[in-house]
Amino acid sequence: MRRLFKSATWLAATLILMTGLAHAEDRPPVADKVQAYSGEQGLKVWTLRIGERSENKALVQLEDVDHDWNMRIQKMDVEKTSRDTRYSTTVDGKKFVVLILQGNWGELYLSGQANPVNVVYNAGLSEQGDAQAFLTDYLNKAQ
């Protein structure tokens, strides 16, 4: 009976470990750190590179904004130029540039709103960000 219990325990532990490893393999690589920007009226913008750098993709989440995108994590295309970095998604079948960053500041464009919102890099918020937790939130909501 004791041998059966040990075998069952070993089998259960092995299955749990294998499930965890398989789940870990499904996770795409991400940058080590989240970059956070803040704007008017408490607006926060969180960005995190997802995939290999050459893929030019990022996760972007807006927080504390009166918009349908509030708290939604979106995977966006990233285009770097000599002047700025642009984050875009598709709105109504067309490319829509959501965020333009130039160094430590930028502009956030929301679909359906005429004027951009100014944002600035926020080191304190960035330090609070957890890249792996951000990825987990995105993966859990994508299912």
**88-137: pLDDT as tens digits:** 999 999 999 999 999 999 999 999 998 999 999 999 999 999 999 999 99
| CA dist., res. 51 & res. 38, Å (int) | 25
* DSSP one-letter code for 83: S
- Within the chain, what is the greatest distance between any pair of CA atoms? 73
Q: What are the pLDDT digits (tens) for 45-67?
A: 999 999 999 999 999 999 999 99
Token reading at 35: 């970059």
Q: Which neighbouring-strand residues pair with 119? A: 39, 106
pTM: 0.81
